[in-house]
Amino acid sequence: MKPDLRSNRDFIAGLLFVVIGALAVALARDYPIGTTMRMGPGYFPTALGAILFLFGVYVLVRGLRSGEKVNGVWGARAIALIALSILLFGFLLDRAGMVPAIVVTFLVAAAAGREFRLKEAVLVAAVIAVFSVAVFSYGLKLPYPLLGSY
């Protein structure tokens, strides 16, 4: 049963909605609800969370009944590398400067592709870095250091 559920498309989607909906309601407990006439800051999010929860339950149950599978496999490697490359950009821009941030982000993102060639990627990364510096630093005058921290 377990591997089935892990690839059951609507079950996972429903579960995701249920969890987010429940979280939304739980967190909104700290905000005053008010009345329908004078809504407090908690009214709208609580209502939304509850609605999302209900939609989630419906989708989840439907998934259990139909058992439809997720299309293809989860591309965990690709999404992980892309996400990592974006994180690295934010991390490096402050600390190492724009050029290293661009080159590292490009290379890590490029590694997510199936046909990754290091030499070629380094070359294109360099081109993109030069282009970005020209457009963003000199053209649009963004105030980021090219190399080194703030």
The minimum distance between CB 120 and other proteins, in angstroms, equals 8
The minimum distance between CB 2 and other proteins, in angstroms, equals 18
Residue nearer to other proteins on the CB measure, 2 or 38 = 38
The minimum distance between CB 91 and other proteins, in angstroms, equals 7
User: 4 Cβ partners below 8 Å, 6+ apart?
Assistant: 67
Residue nearer to other proteins on the CB measure, 2 or 60 = 60
The minimum distance between CB 50 and other proteins, in angstroms, equals 10
Which residue in 47, 72, 57 sits closest to 13, CA to CA? Answer: 57
Separation CA 135–CA 127 (nearest Å): 12
Residue nearer to other proteins on the CB measure, 1 or 115 = 115
Tokens of 114: 């199936």
Separation CA 108–CA 85 (nearest Å): 5
Separation in Å, CA 108 to CA 85, 99, 114, 118: 5, 14, 13, 10
Residue nearer to other proteins on the CB measure, 2 or 36 = 36
Separation CA 128–CA 111 (nearest Å): 16
